[in-house]
Amino acid sequence: MTHNKPKFAVIGGGSWATAIAKMLCENQEQIAWYMRNEVALEEIRENAHNPNYLSSVEFDVEQLFLTNNINEAVEYADFVIFAIPSAFLSRELDKLTADISDKIVVSAVKGIIPETGLIVGEHFCQTYQLDREQIAVIAGPCHAEEVALERLSYLTIASASETNAQQIADCLKSHYIKVKTTDDVLGVEYTSMLKNIYAVACGMAHGLGYGDNFQAVLMSNAIREMKKFIKKVHKMKRTITGSEYLGDLLVTGYSLFSRNRMFGNMVGKGYTVKSAQMEMNMVAEGYYATKSAYLMNEKLGAKTPIINAVYDILYNNKEPKKVFKKLTDKLN
């Protein structure tokens, strides 16, 4: 179904939600924006910026239908973009009473929902009986901070419906955002989840004092490991060196904006997992993704030494230095 003038709602108040709202406002007369933080909403209404994330971005408040009622935002829109950390998504969806049976649900969530062990698209299909064509995914390589700075960035929209993918792409593109589409929904969504684990590993390596040479080997092995994992989940012909796979992995592993790399770096330097989480005011999705991927892979049986190493450090309290020493012998 093509919407002549599609209406969008953004669900979430973090940096990625703020970046998506900014991109949409380049093309839309109005968007709905839900966040539960009423203080932040008041700040946006009065001062035209999100006080907690990407505060340099100025909005035209006339373009924003701001609400702390998720049902108001969902009822407003044809396309509902969820940009909430996966660990907290269920809590927000518990408040949902609005009918979403005719909505296009767009996941900008880079993780697995812990309660169900499902990626977001699958969760909506199974829980809300949505058709697969009603699901779309927004992927990178793209950091919210660079969107805020209007640095040239690239997005990939994945959907089984080319029409829906193209409509979303048209509403997000601008002079600083280039957008392409793909039908590999599962591959792109699993990449969005797995790359955060590898970015945590990259950060750990840096924190432990490993240099660029090792980081290059680590990332080279990571893309091959990712390919094996995704192939077990959904076998199809895909070019893993494409920017929506390898590009997204590289920017998350290397960028100074990467919260997953930052989190891993702190753990590598000797912070406990708890203290590293408390130090950061943003969620490192890779922490939750590591457990989900590890448990999934017990059934899949892919060879994943990097995921296993990160899991041992984060969940089995193994010494990072010892775990990485063993990991170095498994990489090539």
Are 169 and 242 members of one domain? no
Share of the chain above pLDDT 70, in %: 99
pLDDT at 253: 94
Residue 32 tokens read as 């709905």
Residue 110 annotated in ligand binding? yes
Here the tokens at position 304 are: 């994943």
In-domain check, residue 293: yes
- With respect to residue 144, please indicate whether it lies within any of the assigned structural domains: yes
CA angle 258, 300, 230 (to 5 degrees): 45
Number of neighbours of residue 73 by Cβ within 10 angstroms: 23
Q: What is the mean pLDDT of residues 11-32?
A: 97
Residue 312 near residue 323 (C-beta atoms within 8 A) = yes
Given 155, 183, 211, which residue is the final one in a domain? Answer: 183
124 and 253 both lie in a single domain: no
Q: The domain containing residue 239 runs over which residues? A: 187-329
User: In 10 A of CB 319, how many CB atoms?
Assistant: 10
Based on the domain organization, do 279 and 159 belong to the same domain?
no
Considering the candidates 22, 103, 195, 227, report the single residue annotated as catalytic. 195
Domains of the chain: total: 2
The whole-number pLDDT of residue 115 equals 85
The answer to whether the annotation marks 53 as part of a ligand binding site is: yes
> What CATH number did the domain enclosing 283 receive?
1.10.1040.10
141 and 219 share a domain?
no
The reported pLDDT for the residue numbered 118 is 87
Does one domain contain both 206 and 273?
yes
The answer to whether residues 71 and 111 belong to one domain is yes
Angle (CA) 251 253 255, round 5°:
55
User: What's the helix, strand, coil split of the chain in %, to 5?
Assistant: 55, 15, 35
Read off the pLDDT of residues 102-125 as tens digits, 9 standing for 90 and up.
999 999 998 888 888 888 999 999
How big is the chain by its Cα radius of gyration, in Å?
19
258 labelled ligand-binding: yes
Last-in-domain residue among 183, 203, 238: 183
Is 231 a catalytic site residue?
A: no
- The answer to the question of whether 90 is labelled as a binding residue is no
How far apart CA 19 and CA 103 sit, in angstroms, is 22
Q: Is 144 annotated as a binding residue?
A: yes
Backbone angles phi, psi at 311, to 5 degrees: -60, -45
Question: Does residue 89 surpass a pLDDT of 90?
Answer: yes
- In this structure, are 197 and 120 located in the same domain? no
- Does 120 fall in a domain? yes
Domain closes at, from 154, 183, 212: 183
Q: Is residue 140 part of a domain?
A: yes
- pLDDT tens figures, 274-327: 999 888 877 788 999 999 999 999 999 999 999 999 999 999 999 999 999 999
Residue 8 CB-half CA count within 13 A: 29
Tell whether 224 and 177 lie within a shared domain. no
Q: Is 146 exposed, middle or buried (0-12, 13-18, 19+ CB in 10 A)?
A: middle
| Tens of pLDDT, residues 118-161 | 889 999 999 999 999 999 999 999 999 999 999 999 999 999 99
Quick check: is 1 in a domain? no
